């Protein structure tokens, strides 16, 4: 697993390929559409298929959450570097409308956020950051709202 994270940190096009081959994503039809870690942006898409459709014919909620699950963590790991621990701490999803077509999500951070985290973690204390993102369909209709809490801490010297 550590080698995969190293690849993600160094070669974004390899990271995109590896993530698109990740079994839970591939099985649900989840695809990383844009992987621009340098500019703090990842776009994910998921068409509706027989593999991710629920009993009422709309996107399965677990697949909707899975499509956005690791990406704030991956962006933070990339931009903070190996001197920091980054974990997903908590998450929730609010379903707003049935998803009946391809859905998308844009995960974004900015450099100011990275710098603020570094400043807050300077004394090695845990930092908790909350992020919200929308999942929307092809017409721009919000399908779901996801809330993520991440735990970040600067590693102590050995």
Domain coordinates of the chain in residue numbers? 2-154
pLDDT digits (tens, 9 = 90+) for 28-80: 999 999 999 889 999 999 999 999 999 999 999 999 999 999 999 999 998 99
For residue 37, give both structure tokens: 């870690």
CB atoms within 10 A of CB 19: 21
Q: Which fold has domain 2-154?
A: Thiol Ester Dehydrase; Chain A (3.10.129)
Distances (CA, A) of 57 to 27, 116, 137, 146: 17, 43, 15, 21
* Residues 84 and 73 sit within 8 Å (Cβ to Cβ): no
Higher per-residue pLDDT: 9 or 150 = 150
Task: Give pLDDT, residue 14.
Answer: 79
Estimate the crossing angle of helix 71-80 against helix 111-120, to 10 degrees.
70
pLDDT at 2: 54
Q: How confident is the model at residue 1 (pLDDT cuts 50, 70, 90)?
A: low
Q: Residue range 78-85: average pLDDT?
A: 94
Q: HSE of 42 in the Cβ direction (CA atoms, 13 Å)? A: 25
Q: Which helix (H) or strand (E) holds 42?
A: strand 41-46
pLDDT at 7 over 80: no
pLDDT at 148 over 80: yes
* Percent of residues in the chain assigned helix, strand, coil, to nearest 5: 35, 35, 30
What pLDDT is recorded for position 5? Answer: 58
Quote the tokens at residue 152.
């970040």
**What's the confidence (pLDDT) of residue 10?**
63
């Amino acid at each position: 697993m550590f080698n995969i994270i190293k690849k993600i940190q160094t070669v974004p096009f390899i990271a995109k390929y590896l993530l698109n081959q990740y079994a839970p994503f591939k099985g649900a039809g989840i695809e990383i559409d844009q992987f621009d870690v340098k500019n703090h942006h990842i776009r994910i898409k998921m068409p509706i298929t027989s593999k991710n459709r629920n009993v009422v014919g709309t996107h399965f909620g677990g697949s909707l959450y899975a499509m956005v699950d690791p990406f704030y963590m991956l962006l933070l790991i990339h931009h903070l570097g190996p001197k920091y621990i980054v974990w997903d701490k908590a998450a929730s999803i609010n379903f707003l409308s049935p998803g009946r077509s391809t859905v998308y999500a844009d995960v974004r951070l900015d450099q100011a956020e990275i710098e603020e985290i570094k400043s807050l973690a300077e004394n090695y204390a845990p930092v908790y950051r909350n992020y919200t993102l929308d999942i929307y369909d092809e017409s721009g209709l919000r399908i779901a709202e996801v809330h993520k809490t991440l735990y970040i801490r600067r590693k102590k010297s050995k």
